Structure 1
Amino acid sequence: MDTTTQASLPSLAPASATLHGHDTVTLAQAMGLLAIVGDLAMGQPIDASARAARLAARIALAAGGDAGAAAHAQMAARLRWSGSTATAAGFARLLGDDIGGRQAMLTRTLSAQQATRLAKVKQHLAPLAAIHCDVAGDIAAMLGLPAPVEHGLRHLFERYDGRGQPQGLDGNGVPAVVYHVALAGDIDILARAHGLSAALATVTRLGGVRYPAALVAQVAPHAQAWLEALEAPEETAPLTDFLPLSVPLTLVADTVELKLPWLAGHSRRVALLVQIAAQGVGLPDAEQRSLARAALLHGIGRAAVPNSVWERRSKPSDADWEAIRRAPYWSARIGNRIDGIEADAQLASQAYERLDGSGYHRSLDATTLGMPQRLLAAAAAYVALRSPRPWRAAHEPASTRTLLEAQVTGGRLDRAAVDAVLAAAATASVVPPTRQLLSAREVDVLRRISLGETGKDAARALRISHGAVRTHVESILGKLGCSTRAAATLRALTLGLI
């Protein structure tokens, strides 16, 4: 990325600013959201992880596990793709399409061209696997899930033959939950893509390679009945571990935004800004709460759109715009599948509607867009303009105001909403003191690399040596207990450090 696009970093609403408790959801809601986001990022149906979770629980029991082992397998399967947004950029570079490419890998339908390309860059897959496992494990830890679930996710791509990632464990050294999740996912995905007979032939061939052959032999006779049982509603089983009642909704937003590094913290800033603006215009507390939550959800649909669309440095094509317009549709679609999130997700999906009907995805207009929708649209527009993008630098406050005023004059944004957002931005622009875990310079470096800058870019922008940046990055990773930059970004956002 050209460093000129990163000269001005957004100062509005650091992660440490409070959303007054509006940013919490139940553990089940958070896991449901993360599961669907992961499915879409991997090119899978919207219920793929939920199906694999039910299969994984049955496999754990068939392998002699107790109710606790089954619950751990179920949780790990739901979160198995939670690290996929962090590797989207890498797969986009390797395969051209992060979503379609990974979908073909999972279903074993890579074209000859894709297979050739993948063979040439195979050495680059190990670092991506490490990032995926690091982020997924951190997510499990942040959600307060049992240690076996976190441990399994940190070794998600290990194989029975020792040729997996990230540590090359083998045999009984691989957590059992990894085998349960891998076999469940393969059976479901391959049966859907090729039929059950072909799926069973493939997993049998992978017995002793990807998972124990004995496990495949135990499971294969039951596969058809278990797959048929997935068509019936899921029975909720009691959990054997103490689990938190609520978790931060910000974690879901942060995880989605790992897909595009330059988006880090975007939804948090929109959420805080729109909450202050809503207070300013006197909206009731319930509407303030819904707006803050909707702002945190408004970008989750991006997971379903390939990175190549978002990373364009030129004008988006008509095909690009068709994909972009579907992002808010997916935000609503995801939310509609999670009990208790539906209304917030519907509001979230209207962040890009405009008063003159020129917005998307439903082309709503002033007759149906109330003040909450108008505030959300203005806040999202403000934060986007004030933030750098691959194709432009961040706008300064004066030019941001001018551009928003033009949208008001053109009948696209609401005057009162824009005024409230501009007033809120002035209130929220003061950055509170940095927490003591990282030094001020380390925070500067982390903010740069979290937005996708290379070490050289950060060194030039901060006027320090490239070696100094490397030293700071090593210190940051050590202090945060992370092994990858993506995981450090996620943890730093959660801790309010950037």
Structure 2
Amino acid sequence: MGAHPPGERPRLAELLAAASLATDLVTGQPLEHALETCLLATSVARSTGAEPATVRDVYDVALLRFLGCTADAPEAAAQAGGDHIGLNAAMAPVLNGVAAEELHALVRALGAHLPPARRAALVVRALGDPGGKARALTAHCEVGARLAARLGLGDAVVGSLAHAYERWDGRGLPDGLAGEDVPLPVRVVVVARDAVLWRRLAGEDTARAVLLRRRGRAYDPVVVDALLAAGHQQTTDGTLWEAMLDAEPGPVRRLDADRLDRALGALGDFADLRSTWPAGRSARMAALARGAGLACGLDAGTVTSLQRAAAVADLGAVGVPAGVWAARGPLRVADDERIRLHPYLTERVLGRCGGLAEVTAIAGAHHERLDGSGYHRGCGPGQLPSAARVLAAADVWCALREDRAHRPARSPIEARAVLADEVAGGRLDREAVSAVLTVAGEPAGMLPRHRPAGLTDREVEVLRLVARGATNRQAAGRLGISVKTVGRHVESVYAKAGVSSRAAATLFATEHGLLDGRG
């Protein structure tokens, strides 16, 4: 890929492609799987004679079809025995097949790494919840559409992602649309994605057989025929990114500063849905890092890059199974190593986006330490610029103040003491920590005075707990009210916010700054 001219605004297509790499991680596919799908889907759309605007919609939907895939990550991990990524990968080939294929794949995938008794319990629980798939995929669609709107995409793309799992025969989700009522981008992308998937798993002949078997069932016959008639030209390794950019229909779309900030914020919230405890984390860390950067006297451009890096620093964390993030005890060596790789994955996801080189470098260093004990590179002080030092301190403060699966949130006094120890041990920068503590001590902005959508203070309290993974019973215990009352509050919150899933409610809370306080 050629170098980007200095100061050139990032291309929207590059950011969408970066998002697609992140969804590849969550769905258990090799990186650039969605890029290949995008190339094939765009080619097929053109071959059907679709209007240029529709071809562009197909292009965008192909990159973002799984943008809502973190919506049910905690629940899917619990269903699978910890590894929702492995479960997603196992279910991908049969997602548009017949029920028997899906059931067989599910039984084989659940708890594949666990003892037989534990696996059997997972299977029994899954079979006892026939509505689980509909809840999960409906949440995917709801969250994907909401995030796509924040990325600044048009109604056709947002509407397509809201129906990302519909089928030609009307047996899809969330609304059972059939035939031409299914948005055309969805009809094209579903076939293209499965063609790419099956070709990689089993070869050209098997892929062709699958497409023909599902033609007129899950797949639009016209799309299948167009794809098979056009054939498939495999792009050589190392050129998919460039080919995807070259295939973008119409004029190149570039992001101004405001739209870039909104888009990066959306990707941060996408990453935060990987578990219940990070709800709103990326937005909190971005605000804290920005304030600390200003307090340290960093120049305006560096502060902007620092804020953006903080918003997406954990994007690579979606490549770690949600069961690892939810672990309540000591981690296995293999799981610890997966966690230590997440800054590297952040760099891999963002690294080819033009205009984001500084953002990517800062984000990838948020777990580095001055004494070389951090990860993933083990950098020393000479390799860590001021912005990376500030982000590292902000990350530690935010982590200490969060309820985690293995411990409750530390009090401000306890968190300050830990940071002081990190400075004394030569791991965190003294000036950066001082700035973070100064900004964190400001009371202003902790609780917004305005309650969006007419929410009451009590409803905001309930929403915060639900967003952080509390059950109705747990929320009732925390608030000293009945479970039935909590249920009524949840119904009211969902109705006022216009959402139907915990993940979408979490996004609503994050978008309106309702998770910043600790009330």
TM-score w.r.t. the length of structure 1 is 0.89
Counterpart mapping for 1:30-179 below 5 A: 30-96=15-81, 97-107=83-93, 110=105, 113-114=108-109, 117=123, 123-179=131-187
Change (3 A) 1:112 1:469: closer
1:228 and 1:408 map into 2 onto residues whose CA distance is 49
Q: Which amino acid aligns with 2:62?
A: A
The residue number in structure 1 matching 2:336 is 321
- Pairs within 5 Å for 1:63-462: 63-96=48-81, 97-107=83-93, 110=105, 113-114=108-109, 117=123, 123-225=131-233, 233-234=243-244, 235-239=246-250, 245=256, 246-247=259-260, 248=262, 249-427=264-442, 430-437=445-452, 438-462=455-479
1:109-140 Cα distance to aligned partner (Å, 9 max, x none): 94863279466655411110110011111122
Contact 2:448–2:513 (8 Å) recurs in 1:
no
Q: Greater relative contact order: 1 or 2 (C-alpha under 8 angstroms, separation 6 or more)?
A: 1
Q: CA RMSD in A?
A: 2.5
Decide which of 484, 487, 495 is 1:470's aligned counterpart.
487
Q: Which amino acid aligns with 2:383?
A: T
SS of equivalent residue, structure 1 residue 388: coil
CA gap of 1:342–1:365, structure 2 versus 1, over 3 A, is same
Cα separation, partners in 2 of 1:68 and 1:422, compared to 1, 3 Å = same
For 1:32 and 1:127, locate their aligned partners in 2 and report how far apart those are by CA, in whole Å.
Answer: 27
Matched residue of 2:232: which SS? helix
What is the CA deviation profile of residues 314-337 of structure 1, one whole-angstrom value per residue up to 9, with x for unaligned ones? 011211111011101001111112
Q: Is the 8 A contact 2:325 2:405 kept in 1?
A: no
Seen in structure 2, the aligned counterparts of structure 1 residues 327 and 497 have a Cα distance that, compared at 3 Å, is same
Superposed CA offset, 1:148-175 (max 9, x none)? 2122111111112222111222223322
The 2-side partners of 1:110 and 1:411 are apart by: 50
Contact 2:13–2:248, Cα closer than 8 Å, also in 1:
no
CA contact (8 A) 1:159 1:209 kept: yes
Q: 1-side partners of 2:186 and 2:170: how far apart?
A: 13
Cα offset, 1:54, TM superposition: 2.1
Q: Distance in 2 between matches of 1:490 and 1:70?
A: 29
1:101–1:110 contact (8 Å) kept in structure 2: no
Moved more, 105-114 or 161-170: 105-114
Q: C-alpha separation between the residues in 1 aligned to 2:227 and 2:160?
A: 20
Distance 1:407 1:429 in 2: 27
Deviation (angstroms), 1:406 = 1.5
Q: 1:196·1:224 contact (CA, 8 Å) conserved in 2?
A: no
Q: Higher mean Cα deviation, 354-363 or 173-182?
A: 173-182
Letter in 2 for 1:470: G
Supply the distance in 2 between the matched residues of 1:356 and 1:453 (Cα, whole angstroms).
38
SS of the residue corresponding to residue 243 of structure 2 reads coil
Letter in 2 for 1:114: A
Q: TM-score, normalised by structure 2?
A: 0.86
- How far the C-alpha of 1:425 sits from its partner, in A, is 0.8
Shift of 1:458: 1.4
* Matched position secondary structure for 1:159: coil
Deviates more, 1:167-176 or 1:277-286: 167-176
Task: Give the direction of change, closer, same or farther, for the CA distance of 1:422–1:243 in structure 2 (3 Å limit).
Answer: closer
Letter in structure 1 aligned against 2:441: A
- CA distance in structure 1 between the partners assigned to 2:39 and 2:127 by the alignment: 33
Q: Which moved more, 1:26-35 or 1:412-421?
A: 26-35
Q: Aligned partner of 1:136: which letter?
A: G
Aligned twin of 1:6: none
C-alpha displacement of 1:238: 4.5
**Compared CA separation, residues 201 and 353, structure 1 to 2 (3 A):** same
Helix, strand or coil for the counterpart of 1:357? Answer: coil
Q: Deviations over 1:27-62 (max 9, x none)?
A: 435423322211111111221222212222222233
Residue 443 and residue 133 in structure 1: after superposition, are their counterparts in 2 closer, same or farther (change >3 A)?
Answer: same
Q: Secondary structure at the match of 2:71?
A: helix
Tell me if the contact between 1:71 and 1:239 (Cα under 8 Å) persists in the aligned partners: yes
Q: Could you tell me how far apart the structure 1 residues matched to 2:298 and 2:72 are?
A: 39
Percent identity (aligned): 35
- List gaps (5 residues or longer) in structure 1: 1-23
* Contact map agreement 1:71 1:240 (CA 8 A) in 2: no
Tell whether the 8 Å contact from 1:273 to 1:428 is kept in structure 2 after alignment: no
In the alignment of these two chains, the number of paired residues is 475
Q: Corresponding residue for 1:11?
A: none
Query: Residues 429-458 of structure 1, C-alpha deviation per residue, up to 9 Å, x if partnerless?
Result: 652433232222221111111111111111
User: Distance between the aligned counterparts of 1:233 and 1:262, measured in 2?
Assistant: 38
**Which secondary structure state, in structure 1, belongs to the residue aligned with residue 109 of structure 2?**
helix
